[in-house]
Chain A
Amino acid sequence: DAGITQSPRHKVTETGTPVTLRCHQTENHRYMYWYRQDPGHGLRLIHYSYGVKDTDKGEVSDGYSVSRSKTEDFLLTLESATSSQTSVYFCAISGGYSRGQETQYFGPGTRLLVL
């Protein structure tokens, strides 16, 4: 299994509070991704990073920000959580050497409930 951990694994928070989710990898992979998954749906890309301090928006980036100050860590921040951000959040990594055909490896997910 790829060395990817996510913390926390479960979180309950209240509307309007800031929340930060952490993804940590031990594979030294260049690319890191944050996805969200809602019931009955596939994954939707929030943000991704292609290197330290290099990030870009995905399909559903509104309300989220990210930071990557080290290769191994990618942080997802909800500046002011809303109930619509209740979801399961997955982090993924990939090497980035064969664009289009590389494998993404996923973490175990973080379940976030915003009350």
Chain B
Amino acid sequence: DAKTTQPNSMESNEEEPVHLPCNHSTISGTDYIHWYRQLPSQGPEYVIHGLTSNVNNRMASLAIAEDRKSSTLILHRATLRDAAVYYCILSVSDSNYQLIWGAGTKLIIKP
């Protein structure tokens, strides 16, 4: 069973910031939080990951709640090319760090 909960879909306007939420209330202290995205008809691609502290890279930012039971992926300025399904995934230490995937959030970008 997926260990994360995400909204099925979200809409955002082009060139505006997007905040994609994820709940992971059963997370343990050694589980990493990963985000991947999947563009139509392609394999998933890595976006960002973190453990406790907020993380930034060229693609996005990851904000992790202090109790680690939720996190938010932030796209600072969405473009049409960011339209994809975004997956919030836990790397679970007691399952040999397998990635446990949920159904993801379909992000729709309106021009």
Contact = CB atoms under 8 A, between A and B. Distances in A.
Nearest to B1: A59
Interface in A71-115: 90, 92, 99-101, 103-109
A54 B51 CA distance: 29
Interface string B6-42: 0000000000000000000000001110001000001
Interface residues of A, number: 22
B32 A106 contact: no
B46 A43 contact: no
A43 B98 contact: no
Given A40-B103, A42-B2, A42-B104, A99 B43 contact: no
Contacts of B31: 100
A42 B102 contact: yes
A45 interface: yes
Given A101-B32, A101-B49, A101-B51, A43 B44 contact: yes
Interface string A37-50: 00011111100100
B32 A43 contact: no
Contacts, number: 49
A100 B103 contact: no
Contacts of A99: 96-97
Contacts of B101: 42-44
A107 B99 contact: no
Interface string A53-75: 00010110000000000000000
A42 B98 contact: no
B79 to A, nearest CB: 20
B43 A100 contact: no
Interface of B: 2, 30-32, 36, 42-46, 49, 51, 87, 89, 91, 93, 96-99, 101-104
Interface of A: 40-45, 48, 56, 58-59, 90, 92, 99-101, 103-109
